[in-house]
Amino acid sequence: MTISTAQLEAGGLRLDITEAVATVTLSRPERRNAMTPAVWQGLAAIGSDLPSRVRVVVVRGAGPSFCAGIDLRMFSAEGVPGEERLSAADPELEARIAAWQEGFLWLRDPAIVSVAAVQGHAIGAGFQLALACDLRILTDDAKLCMKEPALGLVPDLTGTKPLVDIVGLPRATEICLTARMVSAQEAAQLRLAELVVPAAELDGAVADLTAALLATDAAAARATKQLLAQAGRNTLEQQAAAERRAQATLLRARAAVSASDR
Ligand code: ACO
């Protein structure tokens, strides 16, 4: 898949790539960056088309809110002009949702580190987008909410696993089944935010984190992210073996490059 300007525009997305940093901006502030299938398809296309030099992906929202979740007009009789419908009668419904989930899954790719820069509200699909990223920086006025159960839905855009992994099953159950707002301060306590900053400092905090991430060796960063991602499901012995394998692969690849440079 190759991302076109028309596809970015259809999803109200902006993509800026400078050297090793890609910034993806949800750019419909007048609707608080509410999401439609075109947004999810656009995100998926960005992911599948990302240049290999990109090491950090920053995901942000224009305007007062990071993202107000699914465009609620999707549930109205009129729907959103030009957009797919969410229909119980659709025999391909699961396949359709799988395609939408692609817009979120690529953000875990070991080749990149993804950072959500969250101001204002991150609701429903917006909270799940922040959860799809490896790291989250929140402004101190940010509010997170898994609204889906209140609307008769389950969160289905890949957010349930990271939520449980980060906050644990009891707290994830409470947050989802009450659909309550989680403040930035609580998010920091629950480790849903790596950092909470005043709104005026968000750009600087993202820039500092990006610079720090880029300062490490690219191949080592990629291999380490791969290792960390499997640690939760591995036994200690399996993880130790994975560490040995990763180290040997990394050092051998580097030695081969040095030899070919000579
Ligand atoms: N879908 C469609 N339009 C939206 C959405 C949305 N999810 N959220 C906001 N908008 C629109 C509003 O209708 C309004 O449009 P208008 O100017 O034509 O009246 C505009 O965006 C601004 O919205 P306000 O509510 O005025 O903005 P405010 O900053 O006061 O509040 C907030 C922001 C808290 C995000 C609020 O808009 C809101 O609660 N939105 C709905 C959130 C929601 O329930 N999302 C679904 C979650 S479930 C899921 O994602 C699967």
pLDDT in tens, 102-113: 999 999 999 999
Q: What is the pLDDT of residue 4?
A: 87
C-alpha 86 – ligand 1 centre gap (Å): 19
Residue nearest to atom 2 of ligand 1 (CA): 71
Q: Which atom belonging to ligand 1 lies closest to the Cα atom of 123? A: 47
Give helix 169-178 / helix 160-167 axis angle, nearest 10°. Answer: 130
Q: Which atom belonging to ligand 1 lies closest to the Cα atom of 72? A: 1
Q: What is the pLDDT of residue 85?
A: 78
Q: Which atom belonging to ligand 1 lies closest to the Cα atom of 70? A: 50
For residue 2, count other CB atoms closer than 10 A to its CB.
7
Residue nearest to atom 14 of ligand 1 (CA): 31
Task: For ligand 1, pick from 30, 32, 35 the residue to mutate: most ligand atoms within 8 Å of CB.
Answer: 32
Q: What is the pLDDT of residue 2?
A: 67
Question: What is the value of pTM for the model shown?
Answer: 0.97
Residue nearest to atom 22 of ligand 1 (CA): 31
Q: What is the pLDDT of residue 221?
A: 97
C-alpha 47 – ligand 1 centre gap (Å): 26
**Can you list the residues of the chain whose pLDDT is less than 70?**
1-2
Are 56 and 20 spatial neighbours (Cβ–Cβ below 8 Å)? yes
C-alpha 227 – ligand 1 centre gap (Å): 39
Q: Which atom belonging to ligand 1 lies closest to the Cα atom of 151? A: 48
Are 174 and 145 spatial neighbours (Cβ–Cβ below 8 Å)? no
Residue that has been written with the tokens 């036994």 in this structure: 235
Tens-digit pLDDT profile for residues 199-233: 999 999 999 999 999 999 999 999 999 999 999 99
Residues framing ligand 1 (Cβ under 6 A): 31-32, 34, 64-65, 68-73, 121, 123-125, 147-148, 151, 153
C-alpha 29 – ligand 1 centre gap (Å): 10
Long-range contacts of 208-215 (CB under 8 A, 24+ apart): 209/115, 209/135, 209/137, 210/21, 210/56, 210/58, 210/115, 213/55, 213/56, 213/113, 213/115, 214/20, 214/21, 214/55, 214/56
